[in-house]
């Protein structure tokens, strides 16, 4: 049975569920699947790159996950209104040389009436870390329900 759509207006509880659903999608590292959460004409700013529409989203995510290996992400609600959610996140990954990073960021999301994201602004900083400093060790894919979130990890 498909998951219930999470549509505006958002409550704190539904915003948390929407953010977790987005986290789960991104942790799948499936660009085609992830793109379906966005409007066909969705507009993004990701770091210094501008992306418009699902086709560009798929191309962007394909490039991203080819470069950011063993990607694992945790997101957390920062604030919300009826049709907007502000999120903070941290993800860990390594490059082709085996160098590890933790990327910290903030996103501002705006949704249409069907719960699809029409606008996404992301600001992200990459911090090199030693492999021994990694905090995310679950198998690739969805973060386990019992795994601590950002606040519990002190991030």
Looking up residue 32, the CATH number of its domain turns out to be 3.10.450.50
Residue 31 lies in a domain: yes
Structure tokens at 56: 């560009």
Bridge-based pairing of strands 38-46 and 49-52 is: antiparallel
Residue 40 lies in a domain: yes
Residue 6 lies in a domain: no
SS3 1: coil
Rounded to two decimals, the pTM is 0.95
CA distances from 65 to 6, 9, 61, 112 (A): 26, 32, 6, 27
Instruction: Measure the CA–CA gap between 154 and 150, rounded to whole angstroms.
Output: 6
Residue 116 lies in a domain: yes
Note the pLDDT of residue 1. 45
Closest by CA position to 141, among listed 24, 43, 44, 41 = 24
* Residue 73, domain extent: 12-137+146-153
* Mean per-residue pLDDT pooled into runs of 10, the chain (155 residues): 79 97 98 98 96 98 98 98 98 98 98 98 98 98 97 97
How many independent structural domains does the chain possess?
1
How many DSSP H helices and E strands does the chain contain? 4, 6
Residue 2 lies in a domain: no
Residue 1 lies in a domain: no
Instruction: Measure the CA–CA gap between 147 and 74, rounded to whole angstroms.
Output: 10
Residue 4 lies in a domain: no
Residue 66 gets the label, from left (phi > 0), alpha (psi -120 to 50) or beta, of alpha
Note the pLDDT of residue 6. 94
């Amino acid at each position: 049975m498909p998951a219930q759509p999470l549509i505006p207006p958002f409550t704190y509880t539904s915003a948390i569920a929407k953010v977790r659903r987005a986290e789960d999608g991104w942790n799948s590292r499936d660009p085609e699947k992830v793109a379906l959460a966005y409007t066909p004409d969705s507009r993004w700013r990701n770091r210094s790159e501008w992306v418009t529409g699902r086709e560009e989203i798929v191309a962007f995510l394909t490039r991203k996950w080819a470069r950011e290996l063993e990607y694992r992400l945790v997101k957390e609600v920062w604030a919300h209104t009826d049709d907007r959610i502000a999120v903070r996140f941290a993800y860990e990954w390594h490059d082709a040389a085996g160098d590890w990073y933790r990327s910290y960021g903030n996103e501002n999301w705006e949704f249409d009436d069907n719960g699809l994201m029409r606008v996404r602004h992301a600001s992200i900083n990459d911090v090199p870390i030693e492999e021994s400093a990694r905090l995310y060790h679950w198998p690739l894919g969805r973060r386990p329900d019992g795994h601590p979130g950002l606040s519990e990890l002190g991030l």
